[in-house]
Amino acid sequence: MMLPLETMAFQQNASADYNEYSGEVKEASSNKSLVFATLTVEGTNISTITNTEGNFLLKVPKDLTDKNVVVSFLGYKTKMVPISSLQPEKNEISLEVSVTQLSEININAPKDALALVRETLKNRDDNYFKDPSLMTAFYRETIKRRRRNVSLAEAVVNIYKTPYDIGRDDAVELYKARKSTDYSKLDTVALKLQGGPYNTLYVDLMKYPEYIFSEETLPNYKFAFDRSTTTNDRLIYVIRFDQRENVLEPLYSGELYIDVENKVLTGAIFSLNITDEDLAADLFVRRKPAKVDVWPTEVSYRVDYREKDGKWYYGYSSVFMEFKVDWEDKWFNSQYSMTAEMAITDWESVSKTERPKYRQRIRKSIILSDEASGFSDPDFWGEYNIIEPEKSIESAIRKIQRQLRRAERNSD
């Protein structure tokens, strides 16, 4: 069974009740940027994540500025940074590598990688949240032609996350969104991502294991211990998985990060086998012109979980897809990439009766870039935490805002 990926409320206060901090998380010894490091306000559910350049943007309510920011990253020592020590901009937070000594490894650790995966899946109901939760999340999707942004859509969404021991799907409600698309750079083929936030939500392996590791598909994979690392001072085993050579159906390969002591999946990075171009195209391309071939050349995923009070919950996920577009009457093909990512920035436990009504939920077939609008307001997101834009996205946003201001002046 494939991940169901498709292609092709609140009120802001008049005065800011929060402080904003930005900066970069780096490795102490090499000074390299740490991508997807997690920053959480101590004792709260407020969090954000560094972008692919290691940069972060964190908004903290003013009544919480006496707390610490907990900065964590797989394989590094967790760091507590007093919020009072942070400047509004250009903060640099360095993390030290956490070295795992062989003597620290439990000699009773599991020897069978598949058995550890099965036990982790089996323990899901005990290790992950049992109560329904209302999560606030920031979602961004971009489409690039080679390295140039041609479409950008962002949203704050409310996710009604059902307990992990219940088979019921999560529900998503759109709170606020904005988008811009320059169709002149799309070769007359308007690539669109269908499904919006659901694309990232279904990457939650522990909520939706049936899409990758069902009882029927588990025997189709090879599992092997790769290495060990740490996160938040916990021993993490990295398990490599690949589909067996005799299995023809396109499956996944990648790495699982499992807390050995508690049998908890803390994260995963994996990709889909798309060596068969025709089959891959059938899986992801819903509609295209007759004289053009479109097929994916890469489809990869990432999911990270966070822990609070001994229970784990979905924290971040991303999807990356790269496509080739080949016109029958053109010598050269075009290359496009799509990225969708979502980070949980806050959450609270709620009663089962607070699940949004059907008409309030966004459709699983939504094309966010068709429905959103905006980019004229520089303070559009207000107090909501977002993933810090990469430099190329920041440049695109500034260009969009300049174009909008020019259009407004011309209309006056």
Q: How many Å apart are CA 412 and CA 403, to the nearest integer?
A: 15
Nearest alpha carbon to residue 50 among 341, 281, 360:
341
pLDDT of residue 305: 96
List per-residue pLDDT tens for the chain, 412 residues long. Answer: 556 655 443 333 434 699 999 999 999 999 999 999 999 999 999 999 999 999 999 999 999 999 999 999 999 999 999 999 999 999 999 999 987 654 444 545 567 899 999 999 999 989 998 888 999 999 999 988 877 778 888 999 999 998 888 777 889 999 888 887 665 554 545 567 788 899 999 999 999 999 999 989 999 999 999 988 888 778 899 999 999 999 988 899 999 999 988 999 999 999 999 888 888 778 777 777 677 788 889 999 999 999 988 899 999 999 999 988 887 766 667 888 999 999 999 999 887 656 666 667 888 878 787 765 666 676 788 899 999 888 888 787 777 777 766 766 676 6
Q: What is the DSSP string of 246-279?
A: T--S--EEEEEEEETTTTEEEEEEEEE---SHHH
Sheet holding 38-41, edge to edge: 47-49, 38-41, 68-72, 79-82
Q: How far is CA 103 from CA 99, 107, 356, in A?
A: 12, 9, 51
Q: How many Å apart are CA 64 and CA 412, to the nearest integer?
A: 44
pLDDT of residue 344: 96
Number of helices followed by number of strands (H, E) in the chain: 6, 17
pLDDT of residue 281: 79
pLDDT of residue 331: 63
Nearest alpha carbon to residue 386 among 129, 157, 229:
157
**Beta partners for residue 181, in sequence order:** 151
3-state secondary structure of 25: strand
- pTM of this structure: 0.87
Nearest alpha carbon to residue 396 among 143, 191, 152:
152
Q: How far is CA 113 from CA 119, 133, 175, 266, in A?
A: 10, 32, 42, 16
First to last CA, the chain: 55
